[in-house]
Amino acid sequence: MVFVLIYQVVRQLRLVSRLHQSAATVDLLRPGPLHAMSRLTSRAAMGLIVLAVASGAPTPGMPEPSWLAIVVGFSLPILVVALAVFFVPLRGMNRRLVEEKARLLDGISERLQTASAALHRVVDQEAANERDADASRVAQTRIDALNKALASLLQERDFVRHQSTWPWDPTTFRAVASAIALPIVLFLITRALDRFI
């Protein structure tokens, strides 16, 4: 059963890596499709965590040194592998998301420079204007429009900066981290209770 589980996990993870590499487009602002694969890798990690917990559970009559050897030699390494099973196949998509975020931020920066330069030109023209009322109204309208454009671009830049480049939903990551931490915490609690009892 262990070998079947490991075979399925390896097969799924190779599939996830190939799918991420073959994705034609990566949209940072539409994370739903990107998070789908993390749900698959989290299930594979959870399967390994169940295996680690089941193999590390003490059985009646088992001497403590044997149980500790099983936990340290088998269960803890499987927990580390479970974390790798969740994280490693998603690294390629993470790199692509980092590149996409940099591309979006570069585009926004170029537009900010263009809008800022246009605003400076209009302000300079208004300062040089000889108090022509019509030209002044047109300049003020353009200045107002350019200020709104700059504010919108700054908001967009902040929005893109705050987008996560990790291809998983925060709840999925918390579930995997909690599942890995729980057996370790339980092990430490039982060890502490054994010393006091």
Q: Tell me how far apart the alpha carbons of residues 3 and 197 are, in angstroms, rounded to a whole number.
A: 38
The pLDDT of residue 63 is 66
The pLDDT of residue 163 is 93
Tell me the pTM: 0.76
Q: Is 56 exposed, middle or buried (0-12, 13-18, 19+ CB in 10 A)?
A: buried
The pLDDT of residue 61 is 62
Q: Is 127 exposed, middle or buried (0-12, 13-18, 19+ CB in 10 A)?
A: exposed
Instruction: Give the pair of three-digit tokens for residue 183.
Output: 């057996």
Inter-residue contact 25 to 97 (CB < 8 Å): no
Inter-residue contact 184 to 122 (CB < 8 Å): no
Walk along the chain (197 residues) and give the pLDDT tens digit of each residue. 667 777 777 787 788 777 777 777 788 888 888 888 888 888 888 888 888 777 766 655 666 666 667 666 777 888 888 888 888 888 888 988 999 999 999 999 999 999 999 999 988 887 776 667 777 888 889 999 999 999 999 999 999 999 999 998 888 888 988 888 888 787 778 777 777 76
Q: Helices (DSSP H) in 23-90: which residue ranges? A: 32-56, 64-70, 76-87
Q: Tell me how far apart the alpha carbons of residues 123 and 129 are, in angstroms, rounded to a whole number.
A: 10
Q: Tell me how far apart the alpha carbons of residues 27 and 29 are, in angstroms, rounded to a whole number.
A: 5
State how far the alpha carbon of 166 is from the alpha carbons of 86, 94, 96, 187, 189, in Å.
Answer: 12, 5, 10, 30, 32
